[in-house]
Amino acid sequence: MRPTFLGLAVALLLSAGGPAAAWEAAWEAPPAKPPGKPQRIVSLNLCADELLLRLVGPERLAAVTWLARDPHASTVAALASRVPVNYGTAEEILPLNPDLIVAGRYTTRVAVGLLARLDAPLLELDVPQSVDGVAEQVRGLARAVGEPDRGEALVADLRARLDALPPAPPGPPGPRPTAVVLRPNGFVAGSGSLVDELLGRAGLENMADRLPLGSQGALPLEAIILGGADVLIVDAAPDAPPSLAGALLHHPALKAMATQVRTLSLPSRLWTCPGPQIAEAAERLAAAREALP
């Protein structure tokens, strides 16, 4: 029976005196590849999945995360169904012999630390807090995978859709309608966040801007109810599976509030990741603002 990778690693760990020695002995670097577009890209992050599947398609991806196939979490679930998935462990990635690994700056840190020893380039995506930041990240990843024109096309489409959002209704100038984006556990998006910018572009004032929250923080339920928002944006899909974190969204007091203000259920997959899909989130926000009396 052939030894498994895990069994080999354990044996080397015992014989070589430490995890670093075991890791280096258990993996032999592949031959150097000629420069060119990477053909066996591995993603360790949902937001990387979203961008890569739009930039290179399934054909050049060796693996994406398991979340990419979940239609509640991903806007590219159909494309992801054509790519093998990983669960963020280094031992899954090694046999794939990737020529580019894309991870998130704050996710799968143990695996990223180990995979950084490979010859394959490792690119870590940040979490942009503005539309300009999203555009730059799309362009940067597009250059890394050899598809700058596709990156520019994605950015151009995003900007065109945002520029096409309906203007504020005619009439005397006055305060914009207020909105609060309620996430599980009472978290709201504050000033300086991407969500905050999208609300502004849709003609809404972020109620959380009035509070010292930074880009994200938790609001007491009482503050949400007494804040007097014109639009309550529930950051969850109606058909999403139940969770303890989302239980607050079904609190009786919030249900009562929903009968007095306009409620927009905006699936989190549209703006959890900072990518081209935020255009649809902004369009739905603008439609909610237009529907106000």
Query: How much is the pLDDT for 238?
Result: 56
- Positions of the chain with pLDDT under 50: 1-34, 244-245
Kindly report, residue by residue over 248-289, the tens digit of the pLDDT. Answer: 566 777 677 767 778 888 888 998 899 999 999 999 999 999
- Its CATH class, for the domain covering 35-129, is alpha beta
Among the listed residues 212, 181, 205, the one whose alpha carbon sits nearest the alpha carbon of residue 278: 181
Query: How much is the pLDDT for 244?
Result: 46
pTM of the predicted structure, to 2 decimals: 0.79
Q: Are 30 and 90 in contact (CB under 8 A)?
A: no
Assess whether the region 35-129 and the region 178-290 belong to the same CATH fold. Answer: yes
> What ranges do the domains of the chain cover?
35-129, 178-290
Beta strand 231-234 pairing with 178-182: parallel
Beta-carbon neighbour count of residue 156 at 10 Å? Answer: 11
Kindly report, residue by residue over 145-163, the tens digit of the pLDDT. Answer: 999 999 999 999 999 999 9
Distant-in-sequence, close-in-space partners of 33: CB < 8 Å, separation ≥ 6: 99
Query: How much is the pLDDT for 258?
Result: 66
SS3 annotation, 237-282: CCCCCCCCCCHHHHCHHHHHHHCCCEEEECCHHHCCCCCCCHHHHH
Query: How much is the pLDDT for 241?
Result: 57
Query: How much is the pLDDT for 246?
Result: 56
The secondary structure of the chain in percent helix, strand, coil, rounded to multiples of 5, reads 45, 15, 40
- Its CATH class, for the domain covering 178-290, is alpha beta
